[in-house]
Structure 1
Amino acid sequence: MTTALAGVTPVRLTGGRAPRPGEPLWILHGPGVDDRFAGEDLHVRSAEEVLWEVLHAAGYERIVFSAYRDAVYFRDETSRNLTRAPGTAEPEPRRRNAMRRFSGPFGDMMLLSEPPARPRRPAAATDTERLRMLDGIMVDAAVSSAVVVPNAETWLENIQADMRRPFAEMLGRWSAGGAGGDNVCVLLFSQPDLTEIVNFVRGQRYLPQLTDKLAALATRRSGRAVGHLGFPEEAELAALVHGTRLRHGLRIADWTELPHLLRVMAAQEIPVKTWERLLRRLAGRAELSVEVLREQGMAEVAVADARDVWRRLDEMVGMTAVKAFLTRHRHVLEAAQALRARGLDADAEPAALHLTFTGNPGTGKTVVARMVGELYRDLGLLRRGHVVEAKVEDLVSPHGDTARLTSARVQAALDGVLFIDEAYRLSEDPLGLGTQAIDVLLTEMENHRDRLVVIIAGYAGRIDDFLATNQGLSGRFPRGNRLTFPDYTPPELHEIVLGQLRRQGLTCADDLVTALRTVTEALYRTRSADFANARTMRELAAEIRTGWASRTRLTRDGEITPATAEDVPEHYRGYLAEQKPLDEVLAELDRLTGLQAVKDTVRELAAVLELRRLQESGPSHVAAPHLLFLGSPGTGKTTVAKLMGKAFAALGLLYSGHVVVTTRADLVGEYVGQTAPKTRAKVLEALDGVLLIDEAYELAGEGNDFGSEAVAELITLMETHRGRLVVIAAGYPERMDEFVRSNSGVLSRAERLYFADYSLPELRKIFVDMVEEMGWTCDPTVPARVVRWLEHNRSEMARQGREFANARTVRNLVATMERRLAVRVLKLPAAERLAQARHLVAHDVPEPETS
């Protein structure tokens, strides 16, 4: 019989670590059920011996084994005697061997040879006799009993056909409360996943009740009656190594590297029985090291040295908040372990291990997830600490395989980390398949709470919504375990891209270093919600290397020259373009005809913004204001809007200062669901510049008109993109006032610029400037005739109650004069046409129209 194990329950037994009182079945599964176990006393035992110890420690007096070829056998005399038929004589007691005390490296512990396993087996029995005996043991409430079935798959498959129904009925009775006291039947399966066991039992067809029972156990979230015996962990492998060293002379190459060596062994998913054979073979032949394991093909899974984790974290650019969180998290977990080792927190909830990562793409979430796996492994919380990445497509199937896909991904991540990026897409699935995946995931997290860590990642707001959809989710991802990954700052982005270029073997000329500083600052200022941070820097470095290679055409023996600003990709060159100085922009404004009140207001506004920028020590805290342009058509609103964009760019308040001109038709859709996307598209087009909405009051529709939806969406986006967007709403003064009053949002606080109608002298100058810009000449009488035509047109428009279009009318008149010029010139002889092709005469000015 066996001697008592020091730790009794092996560390690698996770889940249900002992029979659950009142539950007649205890399922043990996994690769460990066929393995051997190294105990703290440095002896190696079979799974049956260890299981006997666990059950004995749990208080079971009678422990009976029943295998396919051995109907009933025992590993201790007490169990055999309690099962013996009445009147059978007791066997003579065995004499214990005497032992001499000694002192050595393990104190007074004495390392003896492994005790032989000699289970007592009675004569073979038929299935009928076997079942009758096992049923009698299970229903006997007088003796606390456990029936253990090793290799349950073979046992269930080979029950005699005529005994299958009685056997199924017997299991049904036990499950329905027919077992006596807390008697338990322990079934050992080699399958790593409980779902596979359910499918196997279902395939036997004659065990529907057992199938239902196992399926219920698979979904239970508390009071687990299912244990998993996995591969050996570091502590057990340490016992195996030391036992082999003391018993067989195994030598360790470097004792300081032993912890890392054990960590490597534990990561390989190799059973103890295989390690035992290898270590015995190496004893006396080679010193044990990671290199030797690699030579033997036993270290295929690479494991970083634990000391590298924190060094690599320290070497990462930026991420101050991330480093602080992981350091604090480490101290919390280490403190919990220390208290538990002293027995001081027996009633405390285990430290939460599941984490939430929020932040934009490229901020290091996946890299840190791998570090968390290594950290948990080094703390003994996970055996392997590997990371399995999963997207929604890896978990959800439209073909009814969602549960299988999710379970399969969990199985791949067991003893490590399951990293789910954009996890909120599961709850956003319109077909509800994501909800099914969430339910399976929660069940698996409960069933494998000792073997699985889940990290969910994505944008902060959407992660909040995701956790709020299911109480189980919010409970497993506490707010204290949320780690926010901020965007990299411009200096950090600059350092990242230069580091990428160095790692690619390139040196950077000074002009490239300066250019990249400008590019990274611009990328940061103009970043959108999905800015890719370090990923963008990696892509930029790769494109620079491509440009450098194309420019230098380096050969094997050629000289390696530095990368220069010339190698910056074309689509990044726009960030390097210099903006016009403010004085030049204002001088351009001064050259416009008329608009004196507008010019004065623009200069005052520019001065105020420049002052605020100086007061705030930079442009980042000062936002360019939204504007209202009030005036009739053709009074220069679009032209001034473009100059305002340039002025804001010159002040550093907008990056590009470009202008996107829109009307109601560009923002409002014809059907439900079209308006918001159209409005968002125009706003994104105008980001870092100006969105000019002409005749903005046309958005104020009536009834079910979608214009109000466009206004609401626009106001939201103006707040979201504050500092990156200027909206200029333009139109007639009276109608604009009414529009602004009806939409008390951001526009109600906008700066107002009034564009007065041009006077006749100003219109005359606009005409002359327009003709000169086209490269034409005209007779001295032409401008006067143009003024008379414009004066008459303005009077007629006023009489009809219509708005005079100012400079737009002048432009239309010039177009009419061009047509009259063309007709006149083509009537001339060919020799005279060229001389007259760009010269206007009085006849080219049409007569004023009268009604």
Structure 2
Amino acid sequence: MTAHPAEPRFPSPMAVPHRLTGARRPRPGEPLWIVHGPGVDDEVVGEDLRVRDVEELLWEVLHAAGYQRIVFSAYRQPVYFRDARSRELTRSGGRAAAPRRPRAMRRFAGPLGDRMLVSAPARPAERPAATASDPSRLQMLDALMAQHDVPTAVVVPNAETLVHNIQPDMRRPFAEMVGRWTAGRSGAGNVCVLLFSQPEFADVVQFVRDQRYLPRFADRLAALGAQRGGPAVGRLGLPDEDELSRLVHAVRLRHRLRIADWTALDHLTRVMAAQEFGVRTWRAALRRMAEPLSVAALRRMELVQVDVPDTSDLWRRLDAMVGMGAVKDFLAVHRHVLRAGAALRERGLGAAAEPTALHLVFTGNPGTGKTVVARMVAEFYRDLGLLRRANVVEAGVEDLVSPYPGETARLTTAAVRRALDGVLFIDEAYRLTEDPSGQGQQAVDVLLTEMENHRDRLAVIIAGYPDRIADFLAANPGLASRFPQGNRLVFADFTPEELHEILLRQLDGLGLARTPELVAALRTITAALHRTRSADFGNARTMRELAAEIMREWARRTRPAPGGELAPATPEDIPEQYRPLLAEARPLEVVLSELDELVGLDQVKNTLREIAAVLELRKLQGGGAVVAPHMLFLGSPGTGKTTVARLMGRAFASLGLLYKGHVVVATRADLVGRYVGETAPKTRAKVLEALDGVLFIDEAYELAGRGHNDFGPEAVSELMTLMETHRGRLVVVAAGYPEAMDRFLRDNDGLHSRFTEQLHFTDYTVGELRSIFLSMMAARGYEVEPTVPARAVRWLEADRDRMARERRAFGNARTVRNLVDGVERRLATRLLRLPEEQRLTGSRLIRAQDVPDPVT
């Protein structure tokens, strides 16, 4: 047996580094204390600047906890001690040893007084090397743990070596001994401290389970790990910045290490902490360093494998970012909250309160800075001492979910392990629960478990579109509890001015000069992009892509050569796909003049001119946002509703109320699905097609419910939601017969408030039908004989009377178009009967015989 006297010179809190997380000492009443992690094979640096091995650290912790006898048992050393008292208590069977007296003989005197020289005792025979299966070792440890009179701690370094090398004939006794200890059948208060080098406690459990002969012990370990916070499990990781700073000072004082720049010492230790080396490695490197210590010197020694940015200007960099005022305010407050919690805990206050959650939710459209800010969050979490590293692991659904059974848990666990001591950033996290195979939900379950197991080593940030993230969190109470409402941050789209500034900064970054004309044109483009943005608008990402394309066009136009003069970028370098955003709208009067060319529709023309005038007035007054109204077009078929809708779209574009002003015509078949879940997507698709223009819904009353299983009302509900969501970017025109539309509006109160304008399209008079017929013939390049119009009017009147008798709607201009088609067919048939030389001369003249007789 070997004694290692090492009485502590300082109280144990000075020896325990912050990297010992979880249980930092044995739990009262628990016979096991598990310490695991890469640090169990390392050294530690206490606050007293002393470098200790882990055994000395544990001795001090156990001694301070009141254990009078601390016994160590390694694979090659069955029993040894690090202090004389533990050795004596073991030799005496738990009783204090009697004080030793000098060897002397009574009534004896000699040259040395009463002392006598005797020959040295014979050396005992060398004991064979101990093995893990030494029965005497097991008996002695079991006896020590069973004693009640002396508080005893048995420490087993490299426990996996001991457990793995137990010989088959000793495995049952060993398992029974461990079973007695874990069941509490040991001395009151005694504890067994097991050290495992596995980085994660789950690996420790799996290692013990793989040994096969310790199933109950593996179950006991799993139960310990499942307890909230793992109260009997401590993890000793790699050194953090504070501990490495103490190491630097210890080496500096003892070995005259020189520091190149004292102001950069914080950054230096931050770089050291990111390299995943232990104290033993760093101490050896610092002791042999011949030049002043600096990051460059460490890099020359090939000790810097991970670059770490200097975060001294982290908040200055954040402030310099364009826009994102709400994000900046949130992060500033979040930092103060975290600091306040740490300050309270230092004073022993708020110990019962849950620590402030590190997990965050980022919602917003693409390109709003979520990933950039996630990296900054990792940096300031590290600067606050909440995380050891500032690494960010970006994981998509494909990185977490596998189609193969059992593989998803492994992928998710692996992603978490890569992110430990840093941030796991999951974009579009809601896709996990949208996975139809159910594998995504398994990934969520594993993620929740890992977040709980590593609550002091991991920050998870989930990101995505606001509505879908809200549904994702609402679907799982476990997720909602780990992402509190105060930790949810909305990234708003950049304003047009912010987009323009971002674009100019991107061009500056490319080194590209530009003319004032290009700057003005780009301002127009960014304003148009912002106004017409969809849910997947790329924000800053789109600006970055636009800048790169401008650079490409400039290079193709100017063909710059090294050493030559560099011309600035001009509007000529704007990519082709962005040029339509610069197109000027046609003047309103030009558009309205086209309305005057239409036959009839006097009431419609007057109403549209009034609407246009009011909107123009509001724009001049500058009283806020001006939005084009949704409208009802009421009238029979063929009265010009679709034609007027197209003119109206162009008019609103001329007023600047719609960017495109195009018209998308839809019917019930385009909006209503045939089965559950199909209607809303179809309606959304049609609305997105019509964005920045007009959605014209013909015979809109057909959307009314036709029975219990009809999906028309669902389309109406979705449409009203989208009308509000895209307010200012969409005009919906609902058209149909007046009576049917009136019933349709009465069935849904929300429709009345959304359609604020009504235009009534009356049937055309006989004179108007005659004018429409002549204009259509002229549009096709025909001339008509004087008797043709009268024959056409008689045919149209007869058709109207027939429709009335049959209780069917007269087609108005649509019927006129059908008549013109019929006239053209009769003309073609007549010409075929003429000689070839007469066909050409008569091919553009409509005669009375080409007009069909009235159908009665």
Mark yes or no: TM-score above 0.5.
yes
The answer (yes or no) to whether the contact 1:4–1:53 under 8 Å persists in 2 is: no
Cα gap change, 1:232 to 1:663, in 2 (>3 Å): same
Structure 1 SS opposite 2:153: strand
CA distance in 2 between counterparts of 1:184 and 1:514 reads 76
Which residue number corresponds to residue 625 of structure 1?
629
Letter in 2 for 1:595: L
Which residue number corresponds to residue 696 of structure 1?
700
Q: How far off its partner does 1:344 sit? A: 5.0
1:592 is the counterpart of 2:607 = no
1:32 is the counterpart of 2:39 = yes
Q: How far off its partner does 1:210 sit? A: 1.6
CA distance in 2 between counterparts of 1:819 and 1:471 reads 71
Q: Within 5 Å, which residues of 2 pair with 1:3-402? A: 3-5=8-10, 7-86=14-93, 124=130, 127-282=134-289, 285-343=290-348, 346=351, 348-398=353-403, 399-402=405-408
Which residue number corresponds to residue 774 of structure 2?
768
The answer (yes or no) to whether the contact 2:16–2:46 under 8 Å persists in 1 is: no
**Please, which runs of 5 or more residues in structure 1 have no aligned partner?**
94-120
The answer (yes or no) to whether the contact 1:390–1:421 under 8 Å persists in 2 is: yes
Within the candidate set 395, 399, 404, 2:410 is matched to 404
Structure 1 runs of 4+ with >6 Å offset: none
Structure 2 SS opposite 1:303: coil
Which residue number corresponds to residue 418 of structure 1?
424
CA distance in 1 between counterparts of 2:650 and 2:185 reads 87
CA distance in 1 between counterparts of 2:532 and 2:392 reads 33
The percentage of counterpart residues that share the same residue type is 68
Q: How far off its partner does 1:289 sit? A: 0.6
Note the alpha carbon deviations across 1:452-505, whole angstroms, 9 max, x for none.
222222233333333334444333322222222111111111111121122122
**Please, which runs of 5 or more residues in structure 2 have no aligned partner?**
102-126
Structure 2 SS opposite 1:299: coil
Note the alpha carbon deviations across 1:331-361, whole angstroms, 9 max, x for none.
2333333444455555554333222222222
Number of residue pairs matched by the alignment: 820
Q: How far off its partner does 1:748 sit? A: 5.6
Q: How far off its partner does 1:139 sit? A: 2.4
The answer (yes or no) to whether the contact 2:378–2:392 under 8 Å persists in 1 is: yes
Letter in 2 for 1:644: M
Comparing 551-560 and 570-579, the one that deviates more: 551-560
Comparing 244-253 and 820-829, the one that deviates more: 820-829
Which residue number corresponds to residue 683 of structure 2?
679
Letter in 2 for 1:404: R
CA distance in 1 between counterparts of 2:802 and 2:349 reads 96
CA distance in 1 between counterparts of 2:771 and 2:100 reads 129
CA distance in 2 between counterparts of 1:236 and 1:664 reads 70
Structure 2 SS opposite 1:177: coil
Over aligned residue pairs, what C-alpha RMSD do you find?
Answer: 2.3
CA distance in 1 between counterparts of 2:573 and 2:327 reads 34
Letter in 2 for 1:640: V
Comparing 636-645 and 11-20, the one that deviates more: 11-20
Comparing 444-453 and 554-563, the one that deviates more: 554-563
CA distance in 2 between counterparts of 1:156 and 1:546 reads 65
- TM-score for both structures, normalised by structure 2: 0.92
Which residue number corresponds to residue 669 of structure 1?
673
Which residue number corresponds to residue 657 of structure 2?
653
Structure 2 SS opposite 1:288: coil
Cα gap change, 1:603 to 1:573, in 2 (>3 Å): same
CA distance in 1 between counterparts of 2:89 and 2:438 reads 56
Cα gap change, 1:306 to 1:749, in 2 (>3 Å): closer
Which residue number corresponds to residue 579 of structure 1?
585
Letter in 2 for 1:533: N
CA distance in 2 between counterparts of 1:331 and 1:517 reads 38
Q: Within 5 Å, which residues of 2 pair with 1:563-574? A: 563-574=569-580
Which residue number corresponds to residue 494 of structure 2?
488
The answer (yes or no) to whether the contact 1:623–1:723 under 8 Å persists in 2 is: yes
Q: How far off its partner does 1:321 sit? A: 1.3
Letter in 2 for 1:483: L
Which residue number corresponds to residue 714 of structure 1?
719
The answer (yes or no) to whether the contact 1:18–1:58 under 8 Å persists in 2 is: yes
Which residue number corresponds to residue 737 of structure 2?
732
Cα gap change, 1:56 to 1:474, in 2 (>3 Å): farther
Structure 2 SS opposite 1:661: strand
Comparing 269-278 and 212-221, the one that deviates more: 212-221
The answer (yes or no) to whether the contact 1:127–1:160 under 8 Å persists in 2 is: no
Q: How far off its partner does 1:597 sit? A: 0.7
CA distance in 1 between counterparts of 2:319 and 2:597 reads 57
Within the candidate set 832, 843, 846, 2:838 is matched to 832
Structure 2 SS opposite 1:754: strand
Structure 2 SS opposite 1:273: helix
CA distance in 2 between counterparts of 1:88 and 1:597 reads 114
- TM-score for both structures, normalised by structure 1: 0.92
CA distance in 2 between counterparts of 1:89 and 1:791 reads 130
Cα gap change, 1:443 to 1:571, in 2 (>3 Å): same
CA distance in 2 between counterparts of 1:334 and 1:672 reads 51
Structure 2 SS opposite 1:780: coil
Structure 1 SS opposite 2:322: coil
Q: How far off its partner does 1:778 sit? A: 2.0
CA distance in 1 between counterparts of 2:623 and 2:579 reads 27
Note the alpha carbon deviations across 1:181-206, whole angstroms, 9 max, x for none.
23221111111122222222222111
Q: How far off its partner does 1:823 sit? A: 2.1
The answer (yes or no) to whether the contact 2:75–2:130 under 8 Å persists in 1 is: no
Cα gap change, 1:344 to 1:730, in 2 (>3 Å): closer
Structure 2 SS opposite 1:28: strand
The answer (yes or no) to whether the contact 1:695–1:729 under 8 Å persists in 2 is: yes
Letter in 2 for 1:771: M
